[in-house]
A and B are shown apart, each in its own frame.
Chain A
């Protein structure tokens, strides 16, 4: 049993969001050491450790294609150390087959002036357990997380993001867009924690969920913790069906309801796919979407 996605502060037990237990026993991982721009394909099942070290003032892009086999489990732990002024664009895309399950853990510490852009795409059919913890230790270090997911079938998505603002003038932005249909069960927990000493920092989180079925479960826990005066934190969540005004507007141009929904669903992924700049990912994500929508 793996305990993961632990909330930094507990809340009402009745909601069952304080932590997640995953039935899985990890074994010794196969380790990848990465310090240059690279593309990693993690296939089949098993345990992997990806250690990314970005040297001072280096700027690299790492693409991780996670392609779990049908009904298997792929357990990946990525540990990132960002040197001073280093910058990393990390793209993690779940390309799992069938009901293959992805357990994805990210641990990251950032030195002064470092910046991390984390793009996560979860369009595939299998369950996702995703636990990201980022320590903005160095002053002016920055973080930009953008995740898009598709929840269909009886997929379970359990996501936990914890951003600790430790250094002065650090910034974070988390954006999560997703669609839930059929019997999907999604938990999204996002914590922005302004620790003492993080003055001048800013953190923001935006969550958007499009609900398309009455058999779904959507849980959202957007937390802000703060022990510092001179900070700005904001959270926003918009959860619901495609709103009537948007639907009317799109239909008034001749789109039917399905087409309007399709457009909005693709819209949640489009910009993110552009950001990846990776054609293979784009076309495969579109493949998954076409299947799901």
Chain B
């Protein structure tokens, strides 16, 4: 039985915090200049349009202000962030060919084991480049493409990528989308052909090892009509005393009657500025499901957005954020209704402790065209002490009478009665509180594959350690 409980069981912080010396890494100068962008473009052998997109994005980046809302990002100085770092290695599709040190990193994080056990394909990114990519033969035979974006840019779907790349999240969307457009590197391209149902998940794992560096991977997923995919994204980094930056972009195209589930367990180290953008567009009868666990990073800005374009399209967002000492996690979701009979369901939980700040921020926009749409938002926040902070900032903009909008928010503390009840059964106070918090988080854990649910509960247990003064 123990055997089956898999690799993530004995998790501890050292598992994420180890770091490798990057002595032999190829690394750009810190900062962001046209020279650096052009150097990057050349290094990646970009097609012309991509080089132009990078330069246009850089210009926009210099023009657009940082947001005047949300947590402060004063501690982030892009002049001291290396935008591109890679090991002197080529991408492998065979685990043995991955350099020993990187292999060791991912083995510690359980990546190859997970692939053998429960995944249809795996991609692993180390700093700015993918170091490993593989997809199971039977899945590949169905026409499913899972590769790095760079090679896809020169492959069969080059035109498709050109049509979709940064179209959902254009570089002028906000400052960090512009930054991403200028210096993006790595990430995945996934294409699921019409009618193909991939019944086990694909996974990408992002590891930022280099100190004072940025990771700007781009994930582009296209799920064609009637197809079905579950994509899992995991992120981690060792802790440094200087700022690291993650400004990835995720663009998801969900076709007619297709379904895409996008799950993330984010556990960046607590010096990370996580300024990530995720967006999905959903065609008629399609469905996007977001499952999102945010545990790491120093500052997070993360609001996956769903555009319900087609009639009868649906969105479901299930999220949890856990902010501890020195963390300010500003997370939530956005949804835009365009099609008729569209619906969304948002269920989020947040936990603040040790001076941490959790903010739930959302935006629901129901356009006049979205007749007979339904919206349900439910968010609950838990305060574990009186030095932390928890804010709920939802906004709704409704422009049709044929909408049904429900919003419920609640904030409170762990019930003393519940702790007393569990302690009366012989549990320590710490265990009792940890158990209650795990239960509070079960909206997300029950949506995750078992291995990840266990990993998440371990993260919670880890965060709850020593929480009794």
Contacts and interface: CB of A to CB of B under 8 A. Distances in A.
Interface stretch (B12-20, B40-48, B128-136, B389-397): B389-397
Contacts of A220: 395-396, 398, 407
A217 B388 CA distance: 36
A233 B412 contact: yes
Interface in B183-200: none
Contacts of A231: 383, 411-413
- The interface size bin for chain A is 35 or more
B381 interface: yes
B397 A218 contact: yes
A13 interface: yes
Contacts of A14: 363
Given A10-B69, A236-B408, A223 B398 contact: no
Interface in A118-175: none
Contacts of B409: 222, 224, 233-236
Contacts of A37: none
A216 B401 contact: yes
Nearest to A17: B395
A54 B69 CA distance: 38
Contacts of A240: 401, 403-405
Contacts of B368: 214-215
A243 interface: yes
Q: Which of B363, B384, B385, B393 has the most CB of A within 10 A?
A: B393
Interface string A185-212: 0000000001010010000000000011
Interface residues of B, number: 40
Contacts, number: 145
B395 A12 contact: yes
B370 to A, nearest CB: 10
Interface string A271-289: 0000000000000000000
A217 B381 CA distance: 29
B399 interface: yes
A194 B386 CA distance: 11
Contacts of B396: 218-221, 237, 239
User: Helix, strand, loop or mixed for chain B's interface?
Assistant: strand
B96 interface: no
A10 B68 contact: yes
B386 A199 contact: yes
B397 A226 contact: no
Contact of A233 (B395, B397, B410): B410
A224 B411 CA distance: 8
A238 interface: yes
Nearest to B67: A13
A13 B397 contact: no
B401 A217 contact: no
A22 interface: no
Contacts of A290: none
A225 interface: yes
Interface in B373-431: 381, 383-386, 388-413
A246 interface: no
A238 B405 contact: yes
B53 to A, nearest CB: 23
B390 A11 contact: no
Interface string A90-106: 00000000000000000
Contacts of B381: 224, 226
A158 to B, nearest CB: 14
Nearest to B399: A217
Given A219-B397, A222-B394, 19 more contacts: A12-B69, A12-B395, A17-B395, A196-B386, A212-B401, A216-B401, A220-B398, A221-B395, A222-B409, A223-B391, A224-B381, A226-B389, A227-B386, A228-B383, A229-B386, A235-B410, A237-B407, A240-B404, A243-B404
> Lowest 5 A-B CB distances belong to which pairs?
A10-B69, A211-B401, A239-B405, A237-B407, A235-B409
16 contacts: A10-B69, A15-B365, A18-B69, A199-B386, A213-B401, A217-B398, A218-B396, A220-B395, A222-B409, A226-B389, A226-B391, A227-B388, A233-B409, A235-B392, A237-B408, A241-B404
